Amino acid sequence: FLFLVFYLVVIYSVYAGYPFPTAPPVDPFAKIRVDDCGKTKGCFRYGKPGCNAETCDYFLSYRRIGADVEFELSADTDGWVAVGFSSDKKMGGDDVMACVHDDNGRRNPARDEEGVFENNRVTCRFKRPVYVPREETIVDLHLSWYYLFAWGPAIQGSITRHDIDSPPVSERVVSIYKYEDIFMPSAAYQTFSSPFCLLLIVALTFYLLMGTP
């Protein structure tokens, strides 16, 4: 019915001397809201302390919408940005969703996708179902997974190696039913605050004080 109405409108426009109807303008990409993080959606921020979706090295958010999960991804890159779902924190054999910028500005996420490439950043938004049939190769988001975060350059829309040797990963498995706002400092902003680093500093200090035999 809709197709028929459109067809009749086109014919009438031709005989009435009016121009062909044009497609409605595409809505601009709605910026990612970070003030919703930890409230109505979960977020991961990787980069400088206090960064947001436009300034973090990498940003991800997720929220449930009916039977779907909506993801928002953004990274400081002119190529691609992705999130992987893993059972062991390691890359390889994982389900990965990626948004890729190519010369034509196209993206390749799941569905209901939209994205933008501005200020050398790839930003996108898409949905995927929470539950999937067992025979599907993608993971069931009803279960909890480690999230792997990666981004990097692309050549004519084809993904190349990620920007950093050891891409960040969530410290624990992530549940889409729990909204948190988690910050992960990038290498440039990491401090010697972990127990291992403190132990290493203590050991080195002890060695220097004792001297060599």
Residue partners of 32: CB distance under 8 A and separation at least 6: 52, 53, 54, 59, 61, 72, 74, 123, 125
Q: Is residue 19 included in any domain, yes or no? A: no
pLDDT of res. 206 = 43
Domain with 201 in it? 25-210
Q: Is residue 130 included in any domain, yes or no? A: yes
Q: Is residue 1 included in any domain, yes or no? A: no
pLDDT for residue 55 is more than 90: yes
Q: Is residue 202 included in any domain, yes or no? A: yes
Q: Is residue 110 included in any domain, yes or no? A: yes
Q: Is residue 139 included in any domain, yes or no? A: yes
- Over residues 83-107, the mean pLDDT reads 76
pLDDT for residue 200 is more than 80: no
pLDDT of res. 19 = 43
Q: Is residue 91 included in any domain, yes or no? A: yes
What is the pairing mode between strands 181-185 and 42-47? parallel
Q: Which of 19-33, 106-120, 180-194 has the lowest mean pLDDT?
A: 19-33
Q: Is residue 9 included in any domain, yes or no? A: no
User: 155 falls in which pLDDT band (50, 70, 90)?
Assistant: confident
pLDDT for residue 60 is more than 90: yes
User: 99 falls in which pLDDT band (50, 70, 90)?
Assistant: confident
Phi, psi of 146, deg, nearest 5? -75, 140
pLDDT for residue 17 is more than 50: no
Q: Which of 63-77, 112-126, 157-171 has the lowest mean pLDDT?
A: 157-171
pLDDT for residue 31 is more than 80: yes
- Over residues 84-102, the mean pLDDT reads 81
pLDDT for residue 186 is more than 70: yes
Alpha helices, DSSP H, located in the chain: 2-16, 195-210
Neighbours of 207 (CB within 10 A): 10
Nearest-CA neighbor of 81 among 51, 121, 30? Answer: 121
Q: Give the chain's domain count.
A: 1
User: 138 falls in which pLDDT band (50, 70, 90)?
Assistant: confident
Q: Which amino acid does the sequence have at 3? A: F
